[in-house]
């Protein structure tokens, strides 16, 4: 489990390297660190802006809140030899999406929270935000389930600025000038209304919305802006985009077949007529 595979000297080396690099390329501001418990299991639920997030969130938690950061990491990242060795030596938890290993990883996270008293970082959205304004999106229910199952507090954390360092999809970071990165942690999400209730889909959805609502409110404070009334639903957006593409293909086919004159329609229409 997490504590059994941690190495103090690896943690010391990694933390010093990360601190040096981030102080060199970022100007961080941290608020609300007092909301992170000094000890005991805690879920850190953060929004996801950039592939640089793991470093900046870890920096915030380790230096600002004085807690060692434990992540659930994609299995693809863990396949990189050096990263795998460091991750295992620092207590990180590998997870494979869409497999039985995902259940195993969540169990390991539960043990890290309840037995080891770890601070485990989760991105409830599951991926970098695709919201046009970079606001937090709708989220998966895994964090809510874990919180309600274990009873550990969920501390919402919002951040803003990593999109200027490494925008989603960019291959190269913009290192200079130093980028301002703002963090704000709120008090634990109040999930008391769900205590003792069966973990139905409705309960998990409502709890997840509360968690994401607190994260969004914190980011709104950082940005000084009003968030969207309805969070961006990435899954629905992908489905709608796929449906639009299907409709476009069907419409295009009808237009070609409806000319009634393969010669007038050119080469493509001639092929369509032959195929028909």
Q: Check residue 15 and give its pLDDT.
A: 87
Number of domains in the chain: 2
- For 98, the token pair is 């869409």
In sequence order, the β-bridge partners of residue 38 are none
Query: How far is 191 from 141, CA to CA, in rounded Å?
Result: 14
Element (H, E) at 154: strand 154-160
Using CA atoms, how far residue 25 sits from 112, 168, 219, 261, in Å, is: 32, 18, 22, 64
Contact partners, residue 85, CB within 8 Å, separation at least 6 = none
pTM: 0.84
Q: What is the mean pLDDT of each run of 10 residues along the chain (276 residues)?
A: 60 86 94 97 97 93 94 69 72 68 77 94 94 97 95 98 95 93 98 95 97 98 98 95 91 53 40 34
Asked if the structure places residue 228 within a domain, the reply is no
Q: Verify that 146 and 261 share a domain, yes or no.
A: no
Q: Verify that 57 and 173 share a domain, yes or no.
A: yes
19, 128 Cβ separation under 8 angstroms: no
Q: Check residue 105 and give its pLDDT.
A: 74
112, 106 Cβ separation under 8 angstroms: no
Q: Check residue 42 and give its pLDDT.
A: 98
Name the residue range of residue 108's domain.
3-223
Q: Check residue 27 and give its pLDDT.
A: 96
Q: Verify that 219 and 167 share a domain, yes or no.
A: yes
Q: Check residue 100 and give its pLDDT.
A: 57
Q: Verify that 102 and 188 share a domain, yes or no.
A: yes
Q: Verify that 27 and 160 share a domain, yes or no.
A: yes
Q: Verify that 131 and 16 share a domain, yes or no.
A: yes
């Amino acid at each position: 489990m997490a504590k059994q595979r941690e190495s103090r000297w690896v943690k010391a080396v990694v933390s010093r390297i990360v601190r040096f690099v981030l102080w060199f390329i970022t100007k961080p501001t941290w608020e609300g660190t007092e909301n992170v418990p000094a000890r005991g299991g805690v879920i850190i639920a953060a929004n996801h802006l950039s592939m640089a997030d793991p470093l900046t969130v870890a920096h915030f938690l380790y230096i600002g809140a004085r807690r060692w950061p434990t992540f659930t990491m994609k299995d693809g990242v863990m396949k990189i030899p050096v990263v795998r060795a460091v991750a295992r030596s620092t207590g990180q938890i590998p997870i494979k999406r869409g497999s039985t290993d995902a259940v195993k990883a969540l169990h390991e996270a539960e043990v890290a929270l309840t037995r080891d008293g770890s601070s485990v970082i989760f991105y409830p959205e599951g991926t970098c935000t695709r919201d046009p304004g970079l606001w937090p999106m709708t989220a998966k229910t895994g964090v809510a389930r874990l919180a309600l199952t274990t009873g550990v507090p969920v501390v919402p954390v919002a951040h803003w600025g990593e999109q200027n360092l490494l925008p989603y999809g960019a291959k190269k970071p913009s290192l200079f000038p130093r980028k301002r990165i703002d963090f704000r942690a709120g008090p634990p999400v109040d999930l008391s209304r769900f205590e003792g209730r069966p973990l139905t889909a409705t309960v998990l959805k409502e709890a997840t919305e509360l968690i994401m609502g607190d994260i969004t409110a914190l980011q709104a404070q950082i940005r000084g802006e009003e968030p969207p009334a309805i969070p961006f639903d990435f899954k629905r957006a992908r489905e709608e985009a796929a449906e639009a593409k299907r409709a476009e293909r069907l419409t295009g086919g009808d237009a070609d077949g409806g000319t009634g004159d393969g010669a007038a329609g050119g080469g493509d229409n001639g092929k369509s007529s032959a195929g028909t």
